[in-house]
Amino acid sequence: MKSNRYVLPVVVLMSLFAVAFAQHDMQKSDAQNSDAQKSFTLLKTLGGNWQGSTDINPPQPDMGDTSVSRITMRVTSRGNALVHEITDPAKPDDPTKYDHPVTMFYLDGDRLILTHYCDAGNRPRMAARTSPDGKTVEFDFIDVSGSTQYGHMHHAVFTIIDANHHIEDWTYMMPGEKPLHAHMDLKRVQ
């Protein structure tokens, strides 16, 4: 008889868990159909190593040779985040001495957010917009944490050409709100 009084609370708890998981699965299903989720799914297909030409406009002679970029993109956190890293193939792999910006992409509710961990010491955030054809994901500036004394990343566009070719366009706001554009034409490294 004593064991019966424990059965009812266990059954009630199990029912509550089942309802909670069902609601979570429904929300997850709705999120998977959103523009943000579609854009995130598209960007995750870029996981891998990329290399290609880079054009800086206006040219910055004091930056040295920026004509080639190496990009690594990695899906992480059980598919909930995408890590994007830029390195210079002509420099040693030492992020303590050389530029090595890291960008994280993740879903925040119904928005796809980019947070750029900049070598300038700040963290701008941007929100995604997807082109009607679904091949371009454009990120618009939301806000920035940290000092903007040396400028900050302000805009980014990812254009998927095919599974082995994509273009990245980044806009950096220099001090005085002067835009600096980087256009990277990248091919997948096999």
- Is there a single domain that holds both residue 40 and residue 29? no
Q: What is the pLDDT of residues 74-121, one digit of tens each?
A: 999 999 999 999 887 766 665 555 566 899 999 999 999 999 999 889
The predicted pLDDT at position 68 comes to 82
| Residue ranges in the chain whose pLDDT is less than 50 | 12-13, 16, 21, 26-31
Range of 42's domain?
35-188
Residue 12's alpha-carbon distances to 23, 25, 40, in angstroms, are 17, 20, 37
- Is there a single domain that holds both residue 164 and residue 116? yes
The number of residues in the chain equals 190
Residues 115, 111: Cα–Cα separation, whole Å: 13
The predicted pLDDT at position 16 comes to 47
The predicted pLDDT at position 96 comes to 58
3-state helix, strand, coil split of the chain in percent (to 5) is 25, 45, 30
- Is there a single domain that holds both residue 9 and residue 44? no
- Is there a single domain that holds both residue 3 and residue 77? no
Q: How many domains does the chain have?
A: 2
- Is there a single domain that holds both residue 95 and residue 182? yes
The predicted pLDDT at position 175 comes to 93
